[in-house]
Amino acid sequence: MKIHYISRNNSVLNHFLGQIRNVNVQNDSMRFRRNIERIGEIMAYELSKDLSYKNIEIQTPLGIKKTTEIESDLVLCSILRAGLPLHNGFLNYFDHAENSFVSACRYHPNNDDAFEILVEYQALSNINDKTVLLLDPMLATGQSIVAVHEKLVQNATPKEIHIVVVIAAPEGIAFLEKSLPENCHLWVASLDEKLNEKNYIVPGLGDAGDLAYGSKL
């Protein structure tokens, strides 16, 4: 799996990353959602450099201009619910893309720290021979992404898959490297230190879904 780390050089991306982590800013859910969306826009721009392009000619009012446009057939697939602001950021740039949505959550059958991943609601596009961008803000254990990936390729064969996360733990990256095909790409805005005993990212930012849309039962 090819891994792209895109916050190693100082840019406005780091500014937005700092704001989504800051407990003094997080109480503004609209600002949190918008910052995730802006991070998505920046990551979409960086990812766009890795897509396929074709040469075209455009008629302007004064002549013909040779340029390029994206050739890849794109499908954006976000993991509900936390993935929605990130999805919107990518859709702002890839407005021609198709859209898919999958729900995945941690289920604690014994009401302890042990969990399994439930993949339930699905609204999937045809991804055969297309470039899929799988979007989820947090890569903790990696189990949700692997479970959704398995669902996506169960009855379809995408041309390539780009996994996009805002914050990642090393343990999650290692799990993806072990579990996913080598031709997958992983795009990481920020690499954090570790997972704690509850498998939450440290220092992380908390629960991205709760911060964006409110706490759940």
| Per-domain residue ranges of the chain | 2-51+70-213
- Work out the pLDDT band at 75, boundaries 50, 70, 90: very high
**Integer Cα distance of 74 and 97 in angstroms:** 5
C-alpha triplet 112, 180, 205: angle, nearest 5°:
50
- Whether 109 shows a pLDDT value over 90: the answer reads no
pTM: 0.93
b/e burial code for range 89-98 (CB count within 10 A of at least 16 → b): bbbebbeebb
The pLDDT, as a whole number, for residue 160 is 95
What residues contact residue 66 under an 8 Å CB cut-off, 6+ apart?
Answer: 55, 56, 57, 58
Q: Bin 183: left if φ > 0, else alpha if -120 < ψ < 50, else beta.
A: alpha
| pLDDT per position as a tens digit, 3-24 | 999 988 899 999 999 999 999 9
**CATH 3.30.70.1560, applies to 2-51+70-213:** no
Under DSSP, the state recorded for 23 is T
